[in-house]
Amino acid sequence: MNEAAPRKQWTLPVRNRHLLLTRGRRRAMPPVKTLRAIGLKRGMRFLDIGCGPGYFAIPACGVVGKYGRVLACDVSPVMIAELRAGAKERGYANLTAKRNQGSRIPFPDASADFALIAFVLHALADIQPLFAEARRAMKKSAAITLIDWHRKPMDMGPPLEARFEPEELVAQLRDAGFHRPRWWDFDGNTYFASAHAP
């Protein structure tokens, strides 16, 4: 069997983090509407893996409400600090934000009812360790949703070599032991993939 070539990794420079919170991005993919559409509900414990400055994590605090909890992690201390400040500014007290080291998720086993990995996988050489950690941190039968860029030329997002085809992510989710993986197009540029923990 031939070994696959290592995937090109790409990470948005932290100095460009403002690009993650633009009005144009909010118009294209409104965070509250998106979170509700993928199944996030009041009272849930939501895990945002690779949360950045809080594009989804901060609105999720409002969606899950005071009896829910948002658990968020990112490798960047700058992103975590910005997320905490944004949640505090909006009066949310139901956020726990921690820095993670590599693929290790800094929350206990079976912490989350719902997990999200949005526009993160291009930063990893191997996504299976992150999927294994997500499974560990998710409750039995919890849902996971991935949001990513289609692998086609466009003016935004990571280089093509760092992107995944939707079918490839579905196969990777299946290989990681998730149940019922599937994908659907969002807007021609991005897509969603979802599955459930065993």
26: CATH: 3.40.50.150
Look at residue 117 and tell me if it is in a domain. yes
Look at residue 4 and tell me if it is in a domain. no
Dist CA 197 CA 132 (whole Å):
10
Look at residue 139 and tell me if it is in a domain. yes
Tell me which residue has tokens 């999720």: 60
Look at residue 12 and tell me if it is in a domain. no
The CA-based angle 163-167-171, given to 5 degrees, is: 100
pLDDT reported for residue 19: 57
pTM given for the model: 0.88
- Return the structure tokens found at 70: 């948002």
Q: Which domain holds residue 185?
A: 17-196
Look at residue 2 and tell me if it is in a domain. no
Q: What is the pLDDT of residues 127-153, one digit of tens each?
A: 999 999 999 999 999 999 999 999 998
Tell me which residue has tokens 């997002």: 157
Q: Which residues contact 140 (CB under 8 A, 6 or more apart)?
A: 110, 197, 198
Q: What is the pLDDT of residues 168-191, one digit of tens each?
A: 999 999 999 999 999 999 999 999
Instruction: Say if CB 162 and CB 7 are below 8 A apart.
Output: yes
How many domains would you assign to the chain?
A: 1
pLDDT reported for residue 146: 98
